[in-house]
Amino acid sequence: MMPTKRPLETNRCGTHAPVWMKGEHPTSIQGAVRRTACAFWEGEECHWSWTIHVMACPAGYYVYKLPKPTICHAAYCTTVPLDEDAEGSGESEGSGDMTYTRRGDTQYKIYTESKTYDAAKKTCAADGGHLAVIKTEAVYNFLLGMIRDADVNKDYWIGLNDKAVENSWTWADGEPLNDGGFTKWAPGEPNNAEGIQDCGQLWAAKDFRWDDDRCYNAKYFICQI
Q: How confident is the model at residue 130, as a pLDDT?
A: 95
pLDDT tens for each residue of 39-75: 988 888 898 899 999 998 877 788 999 998 877 778 8
Strands (E), 33-190: 33-41, 44-56, 62-65, 74-76, 78-79, 99-103, 106-115, 130-131, 156-161, 170-171
Q: Does pTM top 0.85 for this prediction?
A: no
Tell me the average pLDDT across 76-105: 54
The three-state secondary structure class of 194 is helix
More confident residue, 8 or 201: 201
Beta-carbon contacts of 96 under 8 Å, excluding residues fewer than 6 positions away, are none
- Written as one letter, the residue type at 58 is P
Whole-number pLDDT of residue 70? 77
Angle value at C-alpha 136, between 131 and 139, nearest 5 degrees: 60
Task: Select the more confidently predicted residue: 98 or 36.
Answer: 36
CA 42 – CA 85 distance, rounded (Å): 34
Domains of the chain: 1-79 (no CATH), 106-224 (3.10.100.10)
Q: Is the pLDDT of residue 95 over 60?
A: no
Distance CA 62, CA 60 (A): 7
- Going along 99-155, which residue ranges are E strands? 99-103, 106-115, 130-131
Q: What is the pLDDT of residue 176?
A: 93
The predicted pLDDT at position 158 comes to 98
Query: According to the per-residue pLDDT averaged within each range, which of 9-13, 51-55, 89-93 is highest?
Result: 51-55
